[in-house]
Amino acid sequence: MKKNIILKGKLINLRPLALKDAPNFCKWFEDPEVSMFISLRGRGAPSLKQEKEWINNNLKTKDNAYFCIETKEHEHIGSVSLMHIDLRHKNAEFGISIGNKRYWGQGMGTEATKKMLDYGFKKLKLHRIGLQVIAYNFRAQRTYEKSGFVYEGRLRDKMYFNGHWHDMIMMGILREEWDRTRRVGK
């Protein structure tokens, strides 16, 4: 991923991940209302040192494209990514988190999702982008459907959280489906 890419939308801008973002991520990951919707890479909320190491490692890889979501006033409110980018097979996995809860339900996640799909299909020339979302995250599922993702399956009892097993929903979008949604103005 080029380090200077900025994707501009009407509500938000996407800019590359930076070490300065680590404190926000740590704060958000400590919030149970935020962390209940994300996988913390197999661990609890990271320390500032751990988060900076994670950011540093991801800045070095070409297999992931991580962007920070910012308001038009340059307030960092979350992140969006394409992970495990496989240019040979032309696919990647999508992820998003709006960590700043003041911005939930305002369409910023939908716009960030669509911007990343544009980036994946236009810039990276991908054929398929997939994702997994915890079954109780209905708001995210609606965002993905509005962006053109379709239901592909269910992984039963895939994630253990707060003393309970939860299913993960698999969704995906193919290049031709993305092209179709753009033609009809979604």
Residues 146-163 pLDDT 10s: 999 999 999 999 988 778
Between CA 60 and CA 164 the distance in angstroms is 36
Residues 122-148 pLDDT 10s: 999 999 999 999 999 898 999 999 999
Q: What is the pLDDT of residue 175?
A: 97
SS (H, E, C) 71-138: ECCCCEEEEEEEEEEECCCCEEEEEEEECCHHHCCCCHHHHHHHHHHHHHHHHCCCCEEEEEEECCCH
Give the pTM.
0.86
Residues 32-52 pLDDT 10s: 666 666 654 445 666 778 878
Q: What is the pLDDT of residue 2?
A: 47
pLDDT at residue 164 above 70?
A: yes
Between CA 146 and CA 133 the distance in angstroms is 15
> CB-hemisphere CA count at 13 Å for 37?
18
Fold of the domain spanning 7-183: Aminopeptidase (3.40.630)
78 φ/ψ angles, rounded to the nearest 5 degrees = 170, -165
Domain range list for the chain: 7-183
Helices (H) and strands (E) in the chain, counts: 6, 8
pLDDT at residue 103 above 60?
A: yes
